[in-house]
Structure 1
Amino acid sequence: MMMGSLIVMAIFIAYVLRPIMIWMIRQTPKGKPVKESYIVSVFFMLLGCAYIGESIGEHFMIGPILLGLAVPDGPPLASALVEKLETMVSSVFLPLYFLYSGSKFKVFLIDAPSFAVVQLVAFISLFGKVIGTMLPSIYCKMPVVDALCLGLILSARGITELLYFQACLHYLVMDGQSYGNIVIALLWMTGLTTPIVRYLYDPSKGYLSLNRRRNIQHASPGVELQLMACIYSEENSPSIINILEMSNSTHESPICFHVLHLIQLTGRATPLFIDHQLGDKITSDSSVHTTQSQHIVNAFRLYEEQNLGTVVVKIFTSISPYDTMHDEICMQAAEKRVSMLIVPFHRQWTINGVSESALPIRALNRHLLRTAPCSVGILIERGALNRSSAITCMSFYSVGVIFIEGTDDREALVYAMRMAERLNVRVTVVRLVEPRRMKNRVLMNRDSDANLIDKFKADYTHIKRHDYKEEIVRDSVEVINVVRSLEGCFDLILVGRRHASESSSLFNGLTEWNEYPELGCVGDMLVCSDSTFDGSVLVIQQQKLGAVHHVEYVDSSIINTKQEPFTVVEMPHGTKV
């Protein structure tokens, strides 16, 4: 009777309750939240399934588990349920349940012989499962370390086993002594496997092991340039399209532009990657994501049609949690052989000047600066760049480059030189030079910075729309004055994130007062709260080779690796240096 009742309950959930939830999703307009009455109805279904499960003789968790499997994954319903329940379940109910489980544990009932036998059996079982998983994995050409991690993951115990053993204790299938021994085995098995997997499994090794130069400065001329841009919402599309427009795609040097629409994973357990070139579509349960991605796809497809033969756009959608999203981005950048990855800044400026902050996106950008297998550009979208699109109008863009010295500044200048080839782009290079370098310039060996500057002056300054300026700066105050004097002069400013002379007097005191350390000193001046610069900024970091384990400006709560200390100071609005 119990098994028959369980089958009937499963059929009722699958063919009655699930269609009701699908109807709720269809009744919800695209982009709108689910009605509270629908959420409450699902909660009543949950309580009803728990009561029925207990009434037919099963564990009360059986009904809710079956109902959870029947809920359509993704937004709007599943994500709304997660948002409503996650805090209460994770912060209140789950700790109380573990406290209840601990109260059933009787230490004084455990004796040495039974304890030794049970732990030995548990160890042999763990070893057997790990070996049984590793052997077929190694046979299928999986690396030994990954096979070991997979075996440990499949051998870990969780709350499901604990529920099962509590049910056995409740129905007197086992006594208190056996329950205590098994709980101890569960604790050390989970406590042993989790840190070992965290230590051994590193998804970044698939792309950090690459030693080839993948940046714009060392890209082969006349070869298709590979660029990638990340987009979080439709509002990012106009500015990204404008950047693509300025990048000067021609028949001699075309651009393959990879667009990755990033969506946070909510309401489902498995990450999803959609290739829109293959006609993949998000399921109908995710109507909100379908609408957002389709608008982005339409915008870039239209731009590709207008520039047929010079631009190839490939669009993807990645639905994954923010904690591991950087691994997905870096893996795609490595597979596509991307020279530069462009990501939006975590703060967005609206037309009325109000900005919104998204901390997970800021953490994601820091991860990308640390691990990206290519150059990275953080785009701060302000001014006309994010309000107009090259699809609807042909604009004249004024681009500025702040050049000091170092690999990042050279990467920014090389990218600007590619933009300068476009007829509707005016490029102005402003070089900040210390007096001692001015005096010793004739005696100095011609370094990479000087060679690149000479190339720009020889190839572009004879064209009237381009310009080159040198500003002599003696200390950090004069650097700030020069940067502030550029406000209102450009639609877009390109600046390197790091500079080779950051230890010199030009940057004394600037690092300690950075509001956004991930943007570097100069980028922070243009974006900080008291800045009046109304144009967009692209902060560029050239690909880092041989510095995999070096971490810059990364919060300890984000990753568990060694880092250099840094200070973030919140400056009151209106404060002047």
Structure 2
Amino acid sequence: MGPSGFSRIKAVEKFFIQSYASGYYEFMALIFRTIIMFLIGLETDFPYLMRNIRPASIIACGSSLACTFFAAAVTFLVFQETASRGSSFMMSLMIIITLANAASPNVVRVAADLKFSTSETGRLAISSSLIADAYAVFLLFILSEYKSTSIAKWIFFFFLYFIIVGIVIVINMYLANWLNRRNRNQKYLRNAEICVLLAILYVAAMALEHFGFSSIIASFLIGSMFPRGGKAARTLLIKLTYPIHNFIFPIYFGNHGFRANVTKLKNLRNFMVFCILILSSIGGKIVGTLAACFHLKIPYREGVLLAFMMNLKGHVDMLALTIGLTDDLVLSQNFYDVMIATIIVNTLVWGPIVAFMVRRESDIIGYRQIYFESQNPESELRILACVHSPRPVATMLGLVAASRGPRDVPITPYLMHLVELPGKKKTNLMYNQKEEDELSDEDDYGGNDVVEINDAVDMFTSETGLLVHQIKAVSPFSRMHADICNNAEDIRASIVVLPFHKHQRIDGKLENGKQGIRTTNQKVLRHVPCSVAILIDRGLTAGSLNPSGSDSLQHIAILFFGGPDDREALGFSKRLGMDHHVNLTIIRFLPASSRGQIAGVNIAHKTDDVLMAISNDEVEKETDNAILTEFHNRYVVTGQVGYVEKVVESGAETASALRDMAEMYSLFIVGKDGRGHSVLTTGMSDWEEFPELGKVGDFLASPEFDISGSVLVVQQYRPSKFDDDDDDDKQ
């Protein structure tokens, strides 16, 4: 619709491009820019940014400084070729801002659309772009205050900037906490309360703009420092995410494209300047970013992708050109036309290139599952805990708290509320919106469960300081497993924890829940792209695995029989052993003799098959011993974890040994499947009721095993079983 397209038609030009229209467009851009940066701050993984401030700063500085040198080198040529008049220093500053800037909203949007915003590369690109934005905004302040020669005025405005931002942050903290305490039975804040919070943001943004500052970084800081726990932040995310990502983002960047006039590039001189600026921009980003990545030992291909992400434009640079044009810092309309065309074309070209690279480099930035048995326990843990009702929430959060380990070990927990969608109401869900302060009909599904779950999460966050990201999925049981698997892939989960379909009654017995929950668990076990666990909540564990972080000592046992699932359970348990509130004991079950190690193999099988089973069993046994030896030397010898061996001759003795320790532990962790047919579990499958729990897990969940502690059954990621099963979808 801009001057490059339909606005070349007189009627369209008269409608869109009028003498007073530019002021409206600028005001609209300010409104959109403020709310976009506020949401980016609200969504930013601030703990990650703080943990990785050094590499993000090095990448941002490398790319920005290289672009600064490139910009300074081409300024004289651009000044001459565009026949500009005025300050060449100001032109240099505008070119530096244009080349060095990495438009964080563009980076966030591209990373989110290509589904790698939760990857290490994506988060590093977003963090680096935010720091590069800060550098560009600082230069923008110099540009806007260039005509002011008073140093005292500069210092005054500099302090005024931080005073305004600080006051708004403090007001938001007190106001958000007050709103969270007010009307506890409400799921979300009212529209009027949301308007008050946004009004404070816009008053601050307008005040900063009035004093000659850009509100970009201020809006981001206000959003990033907004209290994350409680209804206030939750409601803002729900209310803002959809309209901003689906309406405001396209309109905001469409406004930039509307201002571009690529027809100016038909002039040979202008086209030459355009090419020089494009090459300087990508050259500076590649040279600076790759140099920083070489210093940080980041692989070359990831470095190139980071350079291209950092080269996205269309944010602070547009403000710089607007200020230069308004204040007549450089007297050349030709220069501004070429610069705007450069910014727009640059973003239009490099966006698809980034998308192509992401798809091509999926092996390095795609979702890669690392087994817990080989994973460093001090690496980031991304856990997706699923609940169908408020009942298991306390136990799930207790497990999250126990998995946290030392305070410096990163953990990103997600709580997914799964709500059944009856088939007959599916057609009404999309278009039926409630009036005034109510959200869509989707929020009715689950009844008051939402309030109870939110209260439990808010209390957990306030007591532990650990932010829990909440997700809600409303779907029929036949498709619920797809929602879980898709979300696990989107957030790059390390493990998914599912609730058992039975729940504990007051008398201690387990009561059957909906069959659809069990069916969902079975499908997730086959299709999920990561490790998965089923939590059998015995109720009393909610008090023993205290999510509040009290000083009470929790006793947890790992039952080790051998095999990949038990090794995965052992690897996950390393994190629990690092918590000084957890007394972790590994209990290894060993056969009394080597006889019957592969008991149960069908004697009708061919001899080669039996020999193959024996060979595989020996390999598994060696792997088990190697993992246990490493675990023993690192954790048992140092006294962090206890170690006990139980020698048994049959499944009956195993069951008896498990009964003897029934009241000793608040949580039992075991792998789903042991090492094939083993004498340790012989006969236990005769009364197996729930195959999805494995032999030992099924016994621990049976009425015969009367315990008060919960049970966590872990299954290692199995790529061969990730393919969709058509039969499942037909159920």
Q: TM-score, normalised by structure 1?
A: 0.53
Residue by residue, what CA displacement relative to the aligned partner does 1:51-75 show, whole Å, maximum 9, x if unpaired? Answer: xxxxxxxxxxxxxxxxxxxxxxxxx
Structure-2 change in CA distance of 1:219 and 1:30 (3 Å)? same
Aligned to 2:528: 372
Unaligned 5+ segments in structure 1 are 1-28, 32-205, 274-279, 562-577
Q: By how many angstroms is 1:269 displaced?
A: 1.4
Structure-2 change in CA distance of 1:515 and 1:263 (3 Å)? same
Structure-2 change in CA distance of 1:212 and 1:281 (3 Å)? farther
Residue by residue, what CA displacement relative to the aligned partner does 1:357-414 show, whole Å, maximum 9, x if unpaired? Answer: 1211111110111111111110000152134642385432100011011110011111
Q: Which amino acid in the other structure matches residue 505 of structure 2?
A: T
| 1:258 aligns with one of 397, 404, 414 | 414
Unaligned 5+ segments in structure 2 are 1-184, 188-361, 431-436, 598-617
Structure-2 change in CA distance of 1:218 and 1:304 (3 Å)? farther
In structure 1, how many angstroms separate the alpha carbons of the residues matched to 2:374 and 2:670? Answer: 18
Please tell me whether the aligned partners of residues 412 and 494 of structure 1 are also in contact (alpha carbons under 8 angstroms).
Answer: yes
| 2:716 aligns with one of 523, 533, 542 | 542
Residue by residue, what CA displacement relative to the aligned partner does 1:155-201 show, whole Å, maximum 9, x if unpaired? Answer: xxxxxxxxxxxxxxxxxxxxxxxxxxxxxxxxxxxxxxxxxxxxxxx
Structure-2 change in CA distance of 1:549 and 1:283 (3 Å)? closer
Please tell me whether the aligned partners of residues 401 and 549 of structure 2 are also in contact (alpha carbons under 8 angstroms).
Answer: no
In structure 1, how many angstroms separate the alpha carbons of the residues matched to 2:696 and 2:579? Answer: 26
Q: By how many angstroms is 1:436 displaced?
A: 4.0
| 1:448 aligns with one of 620, 623, 633 | 623
Aligned to 1:469: 644
Are 1:359 and 2:515 counterparts? yes
In structure 2, how many angstroms separate the alpha carbons of the residues matched to 1:271 and 1:506? Answer: 54
Q: Which amino acid in the other structure matches residue 591 of structure 2?
A: E
In structure 2, how many angstroms separate the alpha carbons of the residues matched to 1:496 and 1:312? Answer: 29
Q: By how many angstroms is 1:312 displaced?
A: 3.5
Residue by residue, what CA displacement relative to the aligned partner does 1:119-150 show, whole Å, maximum 9, x if unpaired? Answer: xxxxxxxxxxxxxxxxxxxxxxxxxxxxxxxx
SS in structure 2 at match of 1:467: strand
Q: By how many angstroms is 1:464 displaced?
A: 4.9
Are 1:484 and 2:662 counterparts? no
In structure 1, how many angstroms separate the alpha carbons of the residues matched to 2:593 and 2:701? Answer: 30
In structure 2, how many angstroms separate the alpha carbons of the residues matched to 1:237 and 1:402? Answer: 24
Residue by residue, what CA displacement relative to the aligned partner does 1:2-41 show, whole Å, maximum 9, x if unpaired? Answer: xxxxxxxxxxxxxxxxxxxxxxxxxxx999xxxxxxxxxx
Aligned to 2:683: 509
Structure-2 change in CA distance of 1:271 and 1:546 (3 Å)? farther
In structure 2, how many angstroms separate the alpha carbons of the residues matched to 1:298 and 1:425? Answer: 25
- Note the 1:108-507 alignment, pairs <5 A: 212-220=368-376, 222-266=378-422, 268-269=425-426, 282-283=439-440, 286-287=443-444, 289=446, 291-308=448-465, 311-357=466-512, 358-387=514-543, 389-391=546-548, 393-436=550-593, 447-462=622-637, 464=639, 466-500=641-675, 502-507=676-681
SS in structure 1 at match of 2:404: coil
Q: By how many angstroms is 1:449 displaced?
A: 1.2
SS in structure 2 at match of 1:447: helix
Please tell me whether the aligned partners of residues 399 and 425 of structure 1 are also in contact (alpha carbons under 8 angstroms).
Answer: yes
RMSD: 3.4
In structure 1, how many angstroms separate the alpha carbons of the residues matched to 2:627 and 2:561? Answer: 12
In structure 1, how many angstroms separate the alpha carbons of the residues matched to 2:622 and 2:536? Answer: 31
Structure-2 change in CA distance of 1:456 and 1:437 (3 Å)? farther
Residue by residue, what CA displacement relative to the aligned partner does 1:84-134 show, whole Å, maximum 9, x if unpaired? Answer: xxxxxxxxxxxxxxxxxxxxxxxxxxxxxxxxxxxxxxxxxxxxxxxxxxx
Structure-2 change in CA distance of 1:372 and 1:536 (3 Å)? same
Aligned to 2:705: 531
Please tell me whether the aligned partners of residues 375 and 543 of structure 1 are also in contact (alpha carbons under 8 angstroms).
Answer: yes
Q: By how many angstroms is 1:225 displaced?
A: 1.2
In structure 2, how many angstroms separate the alpha carbons of the residues matched to 1:390 and 1:331? Answer: 27
Aligned residues: 340
Question: Higher mean Cα deviation, 395-404 or 345-354?
Answer: 345-354
In structure 1, how many angstroms separate the alpha carbons of the residues matched to 2:716 and 2:439? Answer: 35
Q: By how many angstroms is 1:454 displaced?
A: 1.5
Identity %: 27
Q: TM-score, normalised by structure 2?
A: 0.43
In structure 2, how many angstroms separate the alpha carbons of the residues matched to 1:328 and 1:288? Answer: 16
Structure-2 change in CA distance of 1:557 and 1:422 (3 Å)? same
In structure 2, how many angstroms separate the alpha carbons of the residues matched to 1:469 and 1:241? Answer: 28
SS in structure 1 at match of 2:721: coil
SS in structure 1 at match of 2:714: strand
Please tell me whether the aligned partners of residues 478 and 729 of structure 2 are also in contact (alpha carbons under 8 angstroms).
Answer: no
In structure 1, how many angstroms separate the alpha carbons of the residues matched to 2:592 and 2:428? Answer: 55
SS in structure 2 at match of 1:520: helix
Q: Which amino acid in the other structure matches residue 226 of structure 1?
A: R
In structure 1, how many angstroms separate the alpha carbons of the residues matched to 2:447 and 2:730? Answer: 35
Aligned to 2:175: none
Please tell me whether the aligned partners of residues 464 and 548 of structure 2 are also in contact (alpha carbons under 8 angstroms).
Answer: no
SS in structure 1 at match of 2:683: coil
SS in structure 1 at match of 2:460: helix
